[in-house]
Structure 1
Amino acid sequence: MKKIFTVFLMFMMISAVTGCSSSGKEGKEEGVHKVAIVQQMDHASLDEIRIAIEKELEAKAESLGITVEYKVFNGQNDSSVLNQIGSQIVSDGYDVIIPIATLAAQSMQASAEEEEIPIIFAAISDPVGAGLVESLDKPNSMVTGTSDYLDASQILDMMLAQNPDTKTVGLLYSKSEDSSELPIKEAKEFLDSKGIKYIEKTGTTTDEISLAVDSMIGKVDAVFTPTDNTVAAAEITIAEKFIEAKIPHYTGADSFVRNGAFATCGVNYTDLGTVTADMAVDILQGADVKTYPVHVMEGGIITVNTETAEGIGADYSMFKEMASKVVEVVTSED
């Protein structure tokens, strides 16, 4: 059967959606599976996930001989925009919604709950804590998806292995990001157990994150950031400050590292996007979303920015004994 692939970028002007949307459920073409992909904001990790979802939807449609039409919406990290996107998606009668990141998933859940449209989220660190599912094994709602749960202790173990003399750690994150809450809590517990001091600095915009970094310089030996979208958007800028100050920045995703952070240990986001799309197709083919377990992606891949390592004078040879794979990258704005 013929496949239909359409991409619609949703920015701040909601009227653009209205002008290009379909006429709603009654106007839906027979046999067409309509999928809405809702990306919370622009940055490397979320872009990587979205691209993988698109490619896998296309591949699955080809192999199964089904017709899939998808549109991509972007909420620009604005809850009001995301809510309006959700309303438009419900009005247009989509069969499945794939939100990427926590705020996008929560907004889609609120918008689509009454209509019982299946939601297959991507890259939610703590789906239970975010109120999306009752449990990972049995969601018991119209929501399931993939989790990029971050093992904060594993990354902090890397930090201490690289520099056993670490005395003070900076915790850099945004309080507006639900995905940061659990790993920051776990990081504090880990550091407390080791008798290591920590300094918390937060921000809700790129400028605020940059100022938070300035206030850490000279006070910390290393910095930890979870899979925080706000910090991710600022990484290409703040990485230069950390390098100049010789401070290693450990983060929750490899996209940070490709933008200049020192190292991470986490999941492969292309794989995560692929699995998310596979789950969505399963639902389109009749699987019960309420009993479909959340897929927690395996981590264990350490990524190191070799340019940053050279810039801060950091030896990372010990990481080879701490992970199944060590990937070396250089700084890129992609």
Structure 2
Amino acid sequence: MKKKTIAIMMTAAMVMAMAAGCGSKESSSSDGDNKEANYKIGIQQFAEHGSLDNCREGFLEGLEEEGIKEGDNLKVEVKNAMADTATNAQIADSFVSDNMDLICAIATPSAQSAYNAAMDKDIPVVYTAVTDPVAAELADKDGNPVGNVTGTSDTLPVEEQLKMIREMMPDAKTIGILYTTSEANSVSAIATYESLVDQYGFTLETKGISQTSEIALATDDLLTKVDCITNLTDNTVVASLPTILEKANEKGIPVFGSEIEQVKIGCLAAEGIDYIQLGKQTGKIAAQILKGEKKASEIPYEIISEPGFYVNTKVAENLGIEVPSDLADSAVESFDTISE
């Protein structure tokens, strides 16, 4: 995906319209002396689940910390694709048609569609919760943007997760992963797991799905072959996590999460990142772009490198698993209930 340059011929009427404040970025003032930029952004979220919701919340907090606040000098339009690919593309097209100052794309499929839709108009796209921006063709191998697009990555701490699973389940042999074959972030994470599982004495069993309707049967099949399941940040799978947890609990098989929200709703534990903080980091990047300090094309993507341990002691009790004291003592947060 190369950035394209296009020539725009502006008529006198267009120039007058822009001068009158009809562009997406406006000026406002109560007395004509203190003018303040008004920004219009679109937030394109691929699915409805806790980690992506936290990214959105953190993104707005990050903007506000940089002096760009919704309702004051910022207008925000939020649209959720509910994990539907066609809807996702329509959202991107609508934001481009509305000539947003910036599009915030939450999750890999949204980042890809937003950038594809926006590149001809050179509208900046700032993404978050993209596990592998290089595999998603949003950055080159050195981490630099491929166009007017940048953001933050929720790269999974796979090795830390494997260490934690081995410590909690010393006799386990096979780990299962359910993933969406069309999600670049999931394919990349699977490759990382495949390269590391041998070092921790595991074999890996994977099951790919293409749509939500396949998850129930795929879960049933996977549960016959594994000692535990570890979850990715796969958007389609995470959106159906309650179904997976119900089936796994019936068989007494632990499910490990990839972030805090999955642990809250019934995963046993996770070595994961704080998605509120990831969103804040993304908001600060967006603020630089909106203020004209840098272009998206000049900012390499960023990551949060330090994971935290999260555990649900109620799930451990239900499964008859004892949490090792060193892990329990290191927990960023532990939960003694299962959220609905």
Which bracket does the TM-score occupy, shorter chain normalised? 0.7 to 0.9
Give me the whole-angstrom Cα distance separating, in 2, the residues matched to 1:27 and 1:120.
Answer: 17
Deviation at 1:119? Answer: 0.8
Paired residue for 2:260, among 254, 259, 272? 254
Q: Give the counterpart of 2:321 among 289, 314, 322.
A: 314
Q: How many angstroms apart in 2 are the aligned matches of 1:225 and 1:27?
A: 40
Deviation at 1:29, TM superposition (A): 3.6
Matched, 1:40 2:46: yes
Q: Does 1:201 align with 2:196?
A: no
Q: Number of aligned residue pairs: give it.
A: 310
Matched-pair contact (CA < 8 Å) for 2:263–2:310: yes
Shift of 1:259: 1.8
**1:99 paired residue among 81, 97, 105:** 105
1:301 aligns with 2:314: no
Matched residue of 1:146: which SS?
strand
Equivalent residue in structure 2 for 1:291, among 286, 292, 298: 298
Q: TM-score, normalised by structure 2?
A: 0.83
Q: Which residue of 2 aligns with 1:134?
A: 140
CA contact (8 A) 2:68 2:74 kept: no
The answer to whether 1:30 aligns with 2:27 is yes
Q: Contact 2:163–2:200 (CA<8 Å) still a contact in 1? A: no
Give the Cα separation in 2 of the matches to 1:197 and 1:322: 29
Segment drifting more, 143-152 vs 71-80: 71-80
Q: Does the aligned pair in 1 maintain the 2:311–2:331 contact within 8 Å?
A: no
Counting aligned pairs with the same residue, the percent is 34
Q: What is the CA distance between 1:78 and its match in structure 2?
A: 2.0
Q: Secondary structure at the match of 1:30?
A: strand
Spell out, residue by residue over 1:67-91, the C-alpha distance to the aligned partner (whole angstroms, 9 max, x if none): 1111111122222222222222112
User: Is the CA contact (8 Å cut-off) linking 1:136 and 1:294 kept in structure 2?
Assistant: no
Residue number among 140, 145, 148 corresponding to 2:151 in the alignment: 145
TM-score between the two structures when normalised by the length of structure 1: 0.85
Is there any run of 5+ residues in structure 2 with no aligned partner, and where? 1-20, 29-37
Q: 1:102 and 1:322 mapped to 2: Cα distance?
A: 34
Write out per-residue CA displacement over residues 29-56 of structure 1, whole angstroms, 9 at most, x where no aligned residue.
Answer: 4362111111111111111111222333
| CA distance in 2: counterparts of 1:324 and 1:313, whole angstroms | 19
Q: Secondary structure at the match of 1:219?
A: coil
For the pair 1:328 / 2:335, whether they are aligned, the reply is: yes
User: In the alignment, does 2:189 pair up with 1:192?
Assistant: no
- After superposition, give the CA deviation of every residue in 1:149-185 in whole Å (9 maximum; x if it has no partner): 0021211111111122112221222212221111111
Partner of 1:14: none
Per the alignment, in what secondary structure is the counterpart of residue 27 of structure 2?
Answer: coil
**Which moves more between the two structures, 25-34 or 312-321?**
25-34
SS in structure 2 opposite 1:103?
helix
Residues 243-294 of structure 1 deviation map (CA, whole Å, 9 limit, x = unaligned): 2322111222222212211111111011111111111111111112212121
Change over 3 Å in CA distance of 1:26–1:139 after alignment to 2: closer
Q: Which amino acid aligns with 2:300?
A: P
Equivalent of 2:117, from 111, 115, 122? 111
Pair 1:210 & 2:216 matched: yes
Q: Distance in 2 between matches of 1:70 and 1:179?
A: 27
* Structure 2 CA distance for aligned equivalents of residues 85 and 242 of structure 1: 35
Contact 1:201 1:212 in 2 (8 A): yes
Code of the residue aligned with 1:320 in structure 2: it is: L
Q: Which residue of 1 aligns with 2:16?
A: none
Q: Is the 8 A contact 1:265 1:299 kept in 2?
A: no
**1:331 shift after superposition:** 1.7
- Taking the TM superposition and a 5 Å limit, the aligned residue runs for 1:3-18 are none
Q: Which has the larger radius of gyration?
A: 2
User: Deviation at 1:26?
Assistant: 4.2
Q: Tell me which amino acid in the other structure corresponds to 2:27.
A: E
Aligned pairs (5 A) from 1:52-201: 52-61=58-67, 67-135=73-141, 137-194=143-200, 196-201=202-207
Mapped partners of 2:329, 2:129: distance in 1:
24
User: What does residue 267 of structure 1 align with?
Assistant: 273
Q: Please give the alpha-carbon distance, in whole angstroms, between the structure 1 residues aligned to 2:212 and 2:273.
A: 25
What amino acid is the match of 1:269?
Y
**AA at the equivalent of 2:339:** S
Whether the 8 Å contact between 1:37 and 1:71 is mirrored in structure 2 is yes
Q: Please state whether the residue corresponding to 2:67 is helix, strand or coil.
A: helix
Choose 310-319 or 156-165, whichever is displaced more: 310-319
Question: Given the alignment of the two structures, is residue 219 of structure 1 paired with residue 225 of structure 2, yes or no?
Answer: yes
Cα distance between partner residues in 1 of 2:104 and 2:250: 40
